[in-house]
Amino acid sequence: MNIVYKTLWIALLTIFPVTAAVGQSTALTGDYRDTAQKIIAKAQNDKEGFERLTEFVDAYPHRLSGSESLEASIDWIIRQMEKDGELNDVRTQKVMVPHWVRGKESATLIAPLNSNLPMLGLGGSVGTPKEGIEAEVLVVDSFDDLNQKSEQAKGKIVLYNIPFTSYGQTVRYRIDGAVEAAKHGAVASLIRSVTPYSMITPHTGTSRYQEGVKKIPHAAITIEHAKMLQRMQDRGEELLINLKMEAETLPDAQSRNIIAEIKGSVKPEEIVVIGGHIDAWDVGQGAMDDAGGCFAAWQALRIIKELGLKPRRTIRLVMWTNEENGLQGATEYKNMVQKNGELENHVLAIESDSGVFDPKGFGFTGSDEAYKMVQAIGKLLNPIKAGTINRGGGGADIGPIMREGVPGMGLNVDSSRYFWYHHSAADTIDKLKESEFNNCAAAMAVMAYVAADMEQALPRN
Amino acid sequence: MNIVYKTLWIALLTIFPVTAAVGQSTALTGDYRDTAQKIIAKAQNDKEGFERLTEFVDAYPHRLSGSESLEASIDWIIRQMEKDGELNDVRTQKVMVPHWVRGKESATLIAPLNSNLPMLGLGGSVGTPKEGIEAEVLVVDSFDDLNQKSEQAKGKIVLYNIPFTSYGQTVRYRIDGAVEAAKHGAVASLIRSVTPYSMITPHTGTSRYQEGVKKIPHAAITIEHAKMLQRMQDRGEELLINLKMEAETLPDAQSRNIIAEIKGSVKPEEIVVIGGHIDAWDVGQGAMDDAGGCFAAWQALRIIKELGLKPRRTIRLVMWTNEENGLQGATEYKNMVQKNGELENHVLAIESDSGVFDPKGFGFTGSDEAYKMVQAIGKLLNPIKAGTINRGGGGADIGPIMREGVPGMGLNVDSSRYFWYHHSAADTIDKLKESEFNNCAAAMAVMAYVAADMEQALPRN
């Protein structure tokens, strides 16, 4: 047994002192079983966490980087944490963030018939002249298709009519659609919203430009209208659209990461970091993306504190700013902990940013040995069916520290409708359930607490 | 055996010449089984009907009574029917219809925070002054609740936050909400949209005023915002809304019912009437409400004609106008057939106005004897699982002739999502499937053909 495996087994013995030692596959009997059950019970009986989340998103629905509303929402949380008096070292970390503003916007079909096309400009997009950009439309079904129709794209508005397959596949057209269209001489670009389902629901999200390529306006229309324009083009009809966007990027603004802790009782310098992102798009309430994740993580710490549990290591709650269009909160957090020497002491990072629906488990990125240990912790979550630990996973906000070697994990939930609402006006609190939110808080609390308290830290690669 | 039963048995014998006669419950072996199978096969292999429907709703998405678009859409259908040359006596019946126009409209939450509230004015509503109506909001959960809070309603905008139970139950607040709120001195009224599901989706629909009660503006907001305003009120927050509506009712306008036939080969004076309504709200495409029903009925006649079938009685296709906000097309049709003596010769009326999703069967209103006969016809639709004939049913457009004694039936379909889209911008063609539309056409064709061709007419009460 090499030293790594020895480390692993010591850790596992902490969880399964008897059964694991004799290699039996019996039920979980370890030290943490009772504690996990207490955490789950307390989480499930809670009313305050979800109510707090609801009040928060009702009061601060739009939390785009650079907005007054985001900063006011951060103030609200800080005030609430100070009033609670439960967490240590409640503080903020200043972060400069991009400041994109949408302004008024519209897309109007002029021919073959006059019709308003509900739309959302994409984050980072430039605006149009005041009178709008009026141009014929070329519908394409891929970047390849656009390449083949390069001659036709010149002077046109290119519409990418891309059916949703996976987010990763489909989002490429949101991210790079303007650059690719501009390369072929298009005057603006539109995407079919990145979602598998629509009720005339446009979805926003970030996009980017490329140096040396003309910046053209970039916006999303609905599935319904993208399909309709495709049909019209297929029938040989000439399509004319007027696109008006006041969008612009202002000078960077100051925002803040929120940080609060439960100090470790034995090794306070070692840190399990847990959280989500506090910024959100300027439509809907950002209830699942990602106020829900922030509040579930917050709730996890409150439960641990209120149960009087004293983990050996520090559990640090971070609500990162600017995940949606810049990742400056995540980057500056990494810079800070790199500079102050804390980075090496981050034993685990946990993010919830896939909605707070019925939790299934976690996706984990880290060493094989650490994977086995978090799988063992996962078993403590079997009573709420949230114990499945898959390989791979993390989160955008913990990405920068994960790339520096910190083991990371993302909460996995029932994702069947997440992308119906993602980045749209329909991301509202009524889509979430208190019971599911509470189970998310339970899953995060159990994972964070055991990882922070077990004798052996999760081994890095 | 009394005379009624004798009539019934003669009819059934036409369908089950052997098995029914000897009282066996064996499989259907009657004269119509082969014909029904041919009809179903032809319907299922069709591409043109659904394509035609798609082109139609893409070209004429808004078909509100009084609009140029509705009349242009009627012209398109007449032209197409004349070009086809398949149906007899293609004609229109002039009908005067209400002419309500929406104009620009908005609802803005002013306090406790500033937020646009997506909304749709309700059909028939009066408008607001140009600067809008700005007033505090009183959220109620029933007419009873409003009665109890009568004192608080004065000078306020009343919001009915009524969860969807059934359409019939919930729609009462859309129909009569303005009248009831005005009785308590409210200055405007809002409803939570009549739907079980929302993605920030307002739903319109008709409403009414009452003589002697002040006409106040009446509009629908989304489920999400109705719930949010309820929560805010429950927290003791003061709600202020500015409602702006340009809505007005212009003088009645001329519209038309569309009528076309397959003339009966033996008893051309006897009529099976089949159809839907051609008007639709001024949002979405009215694809399922009710272009789909009109086109499925049209398709039913085309299939019968193209198969060379010659029913004994006349099958008459009617696309009624003004179902949504006046029923003038249905009323004038009844008046016409009452006046010209055709009413007594209407042996059956079939309407499709519940969407053209997967068909399940029909709801039937008529004599017990006729019910047994249409149940027997229904068996011919078992191969596509559309053979269930329930008691009760019909349709708004055939209501006036049904009340004069004509047996009536409505096509029943999988209704799981119908009210998600009903009267909203999301009632678009992409929600429908060609295969399901084709099965609806098959069900209507089989029912209409056999009812028109069997020796004995369906007996009235």
Given a cut of 50, whether residue A23 has pLDDT beyond it is no
Given a cut of 70, whether residue A18 has pLDDT beyond it is no
Given a cut of 50, whether residue A1 has pLDDT beyond it is no
Quote the CA–CA distance of B372 and A31 in Å, as a whole number: 70
Q: Which residues of A touch B235 (CB under 8 A)?
A: 55
Quickly count helices (H) and strands (E) in chain B. 15, 16
CATH code, A103-246: 3.50.30.30
Measure in Å the smallest separation between the Cα of B55 and chain A Cα atoms: 9
Q: Which conformational region is residue B229 in: left (phi greater than 0), alpha (psi within -120 to 50 degrees), or beta?
A: alpha
**Nearest CB to B231; choose among A58, A223, A421:** A58
Mean pLDDT, all residues of chain A: 94
What pLDDT score was predicted for residue B31?
A: 87
Quote the CA–CA distance of A11 and A347 in Å, as a whole number: 14
Report pTM: 0.93
Residue numbers of B between 322 and 351 with CB closer than 8 Å to A: none
Q: Which residues of B touch A200 (CB under 8 A)?
A: 201, 284, 424-426, 428
pLDDT digits (tens, 9 = 90+) for B39-48: 999 999 999 9
> Between chains, do B430 and A223 touch, taking CB under 8 Å as contact?
yes
Burial code (b: 16+ CB inside 10 Å, e: under 16) for B387-407 equals bebbeebbbbbbbbbbeeebb
Q: Does B425 touch chain A (CB under 8 A)?
A: yes
B323 carries an active-site annotation:
yes
Q: Which residues of B touch A227 (CB under 8 A)?
A: 430
> Between chains, do B428 and A54 touch, taking CB under 8 Å as contact?
no
Q: Give the domain ranges of chain B.
A: 3-100+252-453, 103-246
How would residue B30 be classed by pLDDT, with cut points 50, 70 and 90? low
> Between chains, do A428 and B113 touch, taking CB under 8 Å as contact?
no
What pLDDT score was predicted for residue A10?
A: 46
> Between chains, do B113 and A227 touch, taking CB under 8 Å as contact?
no
Q: Which residues of B touch A112 (CB under 8 A)?
A: 59
User: Which fold, A3-98+252-453?
Assistant: Aminopeptidase (3.40.630)
Measure in Å the smallest separation between the Cα of B333 and chain A Cα atoms: 32
Which range has the worst mean pLDDT, A3-17, A137-151, B127-141?
A: A3-17
Which range has the worst mean pLDDT, A25-39, A335-349, B233-247?
A: A25-39
Q: Does A61 touch chain B (CB under 8 A)?
A: yes
Q: Which conformational region is residue A71 in: left (phi greater than 0), alpha (psi within -120 to 50 degrees), or beta?
A: alpha
How would residue B29 be classed by pLDDT, with cut points 50, 70 and 90? very low
Residue numbers of A between 199 and 228 with CB closer than 8 Å to B: 199-201, 223-224, 227-228
What pLDDT score was predicted for residue B6?
A: 42
What pLDDT score was predicted for residue B232?
A: 98
Catalytic residue among A180, A323, A324, A342: A323
Mean pLDDT, all residues of chain B: 94
Q: Which residues of B touch A232 (CB under 8 A)?
A: 58
For residue B313, give both structure tokens: 């009685």
pLDDT digits (tens, 9 = 90+) for A390-409: 999 999 999 999 999 999 99
What pLDDT score was predicted for residue B2?
A: 44
| pLDDT above 70 coverage of chain B, percent | 93
Given a cut of 70, whether residue A80 has pLDDT beyond it is yes
**Nearest CB to B113; choose among A59, A231, A420:** A59
Given a cut of 80, whether residue B17 has pLDDT beyond it is no
pLDDT (average), residues A357-378? 97
For residue A210, give both structure tokens: 């490329």
pLDDT digits (tens, 9 = 90+) for B317-345: 999 999 999 999 999 999 999 999 999 99
How would residue A30 be classed by pLDDT, with cut points 50, 70 and 90? low
pLDDT (average), residues B276-288? 98
pLDDT digits (tens, 9 = 90+) for A81-106: 999 999 999 999 999 999 999 999 99
For residue A101, give both structure tokens: 């503003």
> Between chains, do A428 and B284 touch, taking CB under 8 Å as contact?
no
| pLDDT above 90 coverage of chain B, percent | 93
CATH code, B3-100+252-453: 3.40.630.10
ipTM greater than cut 0.90: yes
Q: Is the fold of A3-98+252-453 the same as that of A103-246?
A: no
Given a cut of 60, whether residue B20 has pLDDT beyond it is no
SS3 label, residue B131: coil
Given a cut of 80, whether residue A306 has pLDDT beyond it is yes
Q: Which residues of B touch A429 (CB under 8 A)?
A: 228
Q: How far apart are the first and last CA of chain B?
A: 17
Quote the CA–CA distance of B101 and A189 in Å, as a whole number: 34
